[in-house]
Amino acid sequence: MAILIRMPEVAANTDSAVIVAWSKQEGDIVAQGDCLAEIETEKAVIEFGAEASGVLGKILVQAGKDTEVGTPIAVLLAEGEKKVDIDALLAEQDKSVDETPAAGAALANQVAPSRIDSLAPDTAPIGEGRERIFASPLAKRLARDAGIELAVLKGSGPKGRIVKRDVQAAQLTPPAATPVGYSVSPVGDTATVLPDVSYTDVPHTGMRRTIARRLSESKQTVPHFYLRADCRMDDFLALRTQINNASSCKISINDIIVKAVGAALRQMPEMNVSWTDTALRYYDAVDVSVAVSTPTGLMTPVVKAADAKTLTAISHEIADLAHRARDGKLAPHEYQGGSFTVSNLGMYGTQEFAAIINPPQAAILAVGGTERRPVVNKNGELCVASVMTVTLSVDHRAIDGAVAAKWLGVFKAIIENPLSALI
């Protein structure tokens, strides 16, 4: 019997994904476990394996299309099965869901069903004699619950179909008056009013949408506060030079900073925490996320047990993680988790900045560039020294100001006496 292959939830809490390429073509024999397609998640490209054997009868979603989780993307025929009525197959599944409301609600919550209109159109009546509206079952339910008329929405799905994200965008976008001489963007576009100028829209990648959502949620729901410190870097830079002169592995400033962060978190475990609704979670391991810029957006691969590893091991690991992050080759366990993040923009000439916390973590350290500045030495004399400014962003729910200030002092002391982090 033919079965529908649906877009899987390849990463936790993922609403949609993009098929990068099909590994099998229509008519190909498929064995259980064979790679059917390469799917781009918010962070990486994952191979999607077949859960059953058969023949790939029909590809419903072509490569390059952003597709909701649960959407039928292909039909797998049983061995010896030559043809199947795809419309009937889709309709039969819809009927089974409609006849069991509880199961239907659970399925909608889990997989957000959505189909290509040309195969099995989902429509919503809007009045006698008026055009029917194409919308996914989940979009219709969300719109009904939110009191939003489907007629006022413009769909961003295949062939203008209204999908979940269109309803969610309408909930977040207030109606706006249109000034004379301006054009109104479709509902769901955050720029609701644009001047009448030429422009080019580049569709968001799944990663870019996820970054935008997570950072918006962090800024809106996490009470940030910020602490800044200037670190004297002369001893730090001298030690780095000695290490690089004596080793074939070249240690970067960022490698030593990650090691120093790990050492400071081990000294002050009350900073190695995150907030939950029921408890303050203390992490046993010191896993430090490192912000990496990639062509498709920011990623934060994790250096596990950063406090216990040697500088050489940290250097090799960060280089490998960063390289594979830029190529989209990281596995989910390599970028998920972490109890603290380091974001370094010093190599771009940035003197200082404040970073947004990466939930569920409770803190992130923003690292600026090292530069020569006038300072006062221990004898009260004016001199010139190498100085680096760091800014600590903290979740005030999980960490009090005094604790954060003490930790920043510990980190500063390690940076200014870097041998302490290596002993």
Question: How many CB atoms sit inside 10 A of residue 391's CB?
Answer: 19
The amino acid at residue 250 is: K
Q: What is the dihedral of CA 379, 380, 384, 387, to 10 degrees?
A: 90
The amino acid at residue 213 is: R
Residue 47's Cβ-side half-sphere holds a number of Cα atoms within 13 Å equal to 9
Residue 7's Cβ-side half-sphere holds a number of Cα atoms within 13 Å equal to 31
Cα-based angle 374, 376, 381 (whole degrees, multiple of 5): 110
Active site (annotated) includes residue 316 = no
Encode 272-338 in three state secondary structure. Answer: CEEECCCCEEECCCCCEEECEEECCEEECCEECCCCCCCHHHHHHHHHHHHHHHHCCCCCHHHHCCC
Encode 201-244 in three state secondary structure. Answer: CCCCCHHHHHHHHHHHHHHHHCCEEEEEEEEECHHHHHHHHHHH
CB 92, CB 120: distance < 8 Å: no
**In the numeric block, which tokens belong to residue 24?**
């099998």
CA distance 188 to 154: 8
Per the residue annotation, which of 204, 224, 316, 396 is the catalytic one?
A: 396
3-6 and 224-232 beta bridge pairing: unpaired
340-344 and 288-290 beta bridge pairing: parallel
CB 167, CB 148: distance < 8 Å: yes
CA distance 220 to 170: 18
Task: Indicate the burial class of 101 (C-beta count within 10 angstroms; 0-12, 13-18, 19 or more).
Answer: exposed
Task: Indicate the burial class of 375 (C-beta count within 10 angstroms; 0-12, 13-18, 19 or more).
Answer: middle
Q: Would you please indicate which residues are annotated as catalytic (active-site) residues?
A: 396
